[in-house]
């Protein structure tokens, strides 16, 4: 959590991005290659990224750190003029509009994986991926805003079916894709997690504010694909992530083991299965969802009550520790109560 603070604190002086209310650019011709984008999105502003992707207490700590330094958060954390993306557009547009896959890689080079073009053509899916967005890159300062800006710019240039806008990734990029899917269900309707995932409340994917979490529960399809011969850790994390989805009332999921594959990016055949699976949304039973949400609320209420009890008993250090654990596990779902408790402990 604290590892993100220096990168955010460094993004201090306000930056003015390109207008976000300009008319969409004319549709570009089908292409594959490196491109530049110029349109900034309100979804990728530093304040919005913080609100959605950081827990409330972490976001508040970032803000205090900036104020202590006499700085302010930048409007946008990346300079699009210096960024490049790989873009692939199938030659024939589907009648309902293209689907879109925004892909987060573990490597820095932006590239279309071998053999994917023919599959993307068959399903009518545009592929876009940012350069300099590998595992060693700052997630909240670069990887996540770059993916958001990639999706935004493609949707300004091409007619995209908003019901088929997906975010995906491989290995470490898959974990970023999961974070984005949870925090941006109003943009991404599906997530393709290839050989990398984690539980919602036990990794870096903090639950977002309540309205976003509920939309994620109701409308996002999550698809897992892992190689049969991958290391034990990714296989176990997939299982843990799927169990976490159910605990957090996300039931629209699918998973597949690719037999014979190791820790490697999706084969064309596996990609074909994944794109089919992403389009097969399963409507969640309303009574089941309501019961699950009630259980979540009970768990949250018990944790909040425990922190209150510790404060009332004068056990302030224990209360702070319990509050930090609550903030990490429940994220935006615990606000504003978690913020009020933090104020009481100051």
Ordered by start, the domain boundaries in the chain are: 28-284, 287-344
Q: Give which of 210, 181, 209, 217 is closest to 56, Cα–Cα.
A: 209
Cα–Cα dist 247/295, whole Å = 9
What is the DSSP code (8-state) at residue 170?
E
Q: Which residues contact 244 (CB under 8 A, 6 or more apart)?
A: 199, 200, 201, 202
Q: Where are the alpha helices (DSSP H) in 133-185?
A: 144-157, 172-183
Task: Look at residue 303 in the predicted model and tell me its pLDDT.
Answer: 97
Count of other CB atoms within 10 angstroms of residue 285: 11
Identify the band that residue 235 occupies on the pLDDT scale cut at 50, 70 and 90.
Answer: low
CB-based burial, 144-155: b 16+ in 10 Å, e otherwise: bbbbbbbbbbbb
Q: Are strands 85-88 and 125-130 parallel, antiparallel or unpaired?
A: antiparallel
Look at residue 8 and tell me whether its pLDDT is greater than 80: no
Exposed/middle/buried for residue 186 (C-beta within 10 Å: 0-12, 13-18, 19+): middle
Identify the band that residue 298 occupies on the pLDDT scale cut at 50, 70 and 90.
Answer: very high
**Confidence (pTM):** 0.89
Torsion of CA 173, 159, 183, 224, to 10 degrees: -50
Q: Give which of 256, 282, 281 is closest to 271, Cα–Cα.
A: 256
Task: Look at residue 237 in the predicted model and tell me its pLDDT.
Answer: 75
Task: Look at residue 9 in the predicted model and tell me its pLDDT.
Answer: 41
- Whether residue 83 contacts residue 101, with contact meaning beta carbons closer than 8 Å, is answered with no
Q: Give which of 27, 52, 69 is closest to 145, Cα–Cα.
A: 52
Look at residue 58 and tell me whether its pLDDT is greater than 90: yes
Q: Which residues contact 21 (CB under 8 A, 6 or more apart)?
A: none
What is the pLDDT averaged over residues 194-198? 86
Task: Look at residue 233 in the predicted model and tell me its pLDDT.
Answer: 59
Look at residue 28 and tell me whether its pLDDT is greater than 60: no
Residue 62: cis peptide before it, omega within 30 degrees of 0: no
Higher pLDDT pick, 15 / 323: 323
Q: Which residues contact 198 (CB under 8 A, 6 or more apart)?
A: 175, 178, 204, 205, 237, 240, 241
Look at residue 102 and tell me whether its pLDDT is greater than 90: yes
In this structure, which CATH number among 1.10.3720.10, 3.50.50.100, 3.40.50.1820, 3.40.50.300 belongs to the domain 28-284? Answer: 3.40.50.1820
Kindly give the interhelix angle for 172-183 and 46-53, rounded to the nearest 10 degrees: 90
Poorest-pLDDT segment among 145-159, 176-190, 225-239, 312-326: 225-239
């Amino acid at each position: 959590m604290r590892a993100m603070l220096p990168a955010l604190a460094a993004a201090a002086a306000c930056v003015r991005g390109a207008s976000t209310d300009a008319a969409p650019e004319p549709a570009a011709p089908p292409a594959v290659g490196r491109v530049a984008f110029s349109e900034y999105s309100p979804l990728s502003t530093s304040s919005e990224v913080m609100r959605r992707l950081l827990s409330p207490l972490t976001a508040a700590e970032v803000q205090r750190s900036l104020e202590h330094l006499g700085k302010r958060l930048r409007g946008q954390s990346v300079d699009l003029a210096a960024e490049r993306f790989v873009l692939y557009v199938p030659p024939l547009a589907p009648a309902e509009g293209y689907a879109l896959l925004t892909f987060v890689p573990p490597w820095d080079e932006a590239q279309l994986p071998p053999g994917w073009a023919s599959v993307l053509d068959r399903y009518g899916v545009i592929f876009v991926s940012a350069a300099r967005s590998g595992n060693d890159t700052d997630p909240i300062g670069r990887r996540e805003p770059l993916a958001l800006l990639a999706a935004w710019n493609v949707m300004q240039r091409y007619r995209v079916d908003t019901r088929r806008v997906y975010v995906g990734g491989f290995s470490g990029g898959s974990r970023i894709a999961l974070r984005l899917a949870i925090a941006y269900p109003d943009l991404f309707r599906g997530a393709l997690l290839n050989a990398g995932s984690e539980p919602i409340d036990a990794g870096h994917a903090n639950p977002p504010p309540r309205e976003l979490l509920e939309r994620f529960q109701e409308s996002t399809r999550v698809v897992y694909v892992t190689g049969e011969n991958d290391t034990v850790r990714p296989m176990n994390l997939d299982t843990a992530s799927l169990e976490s989805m159910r605990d957090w009332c996300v039931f629209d999921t699918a998973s597949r083991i690719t037999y014979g594959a190791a820790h490697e990016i999706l084969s064309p055949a596996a990609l074909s299965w994944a794109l089919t699976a992403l389009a097969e949304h399963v409507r969640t039973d309303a009574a089941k969802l309501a019961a699950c949400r009630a259980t979540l609320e009970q768990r949250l209420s018990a944790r909040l009550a425990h922190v209150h009890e510790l404060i009332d008993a004068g056990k302030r250090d224990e209360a702070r520790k319990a509050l930090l654990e609550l903030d990490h596990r429940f994220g935006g779902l615990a606000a504003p109560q978690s913020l009020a408790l933090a104020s009481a402990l100051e």
